[in-house]
Structure 1
Amino acid sequence: MPRKRPGALRSRQPSRAPRDLPTRRIHGLSPRTSRAIEHVERLSDDYYLYPGATARALRRYRAFLGPPGRRPLYPRLSGCDCRGCSFDDVRHARDVLEEVLRQLPPRPRAELRRRVRVLDAAYAARTLPDPFAGRRQWHAHLWWRRRLEDGCEGG
Structure 2
Amino acid sequence: MAISRFLAPPIPRASGSLHAAIRRLEVEDSRLYVGAVNLAWRNWHRQAYGARGRAPYADGYYCCEYCDPMPGRETIELALHRLPRSSARELRRLVAPLDEHFLGRTYPDPHARQGPWWIGRC
Which of 14, 17, 38 is residue 32 of structure 1 equivalent to?
Answer: 17
**Which secondary structure state, in structure 2, belongs to the residue aligned with residue 76 of structure 1?**
coil
**Which 4+ residue blocks in structure 1 deviate beyond 6 angstroms?**
none
Indicate yes or no: 2:120 matched with 1:146.
yes
Name the count of aligned residue pairs. Answer: 106
Determine which structure has more spread, i.e. the larger CA radius of gyration: 1
- Aligned pair partner of 2:64 in 33, 57, 74: 74
Give the TM-score of the pair, scaled to structure 1: 0.59
Give yes or no for the alignment of 1:104 onto 2:83.
yes
Unaligned runs of 5+ in 1: 1-23, 78-88, 149-155
Identity %: 32
Match for 1:65: what amino acid? A
* TM-score, structure 2 as length reference: 0.74
The unaligned stretches of length 5 or more in structure 2 are 1-8, 55-61
The structure carrying a bigger strand percent of its residues is 2
Question: How large is the RMSD of aligned CA atoms in angstroms?
Answer: 2.6
Match runs of 1:10-89 below 5 Å: 25-46=10-31, 49-67=32-50, 74=64, 76=66
SS at match of 1:128: coil
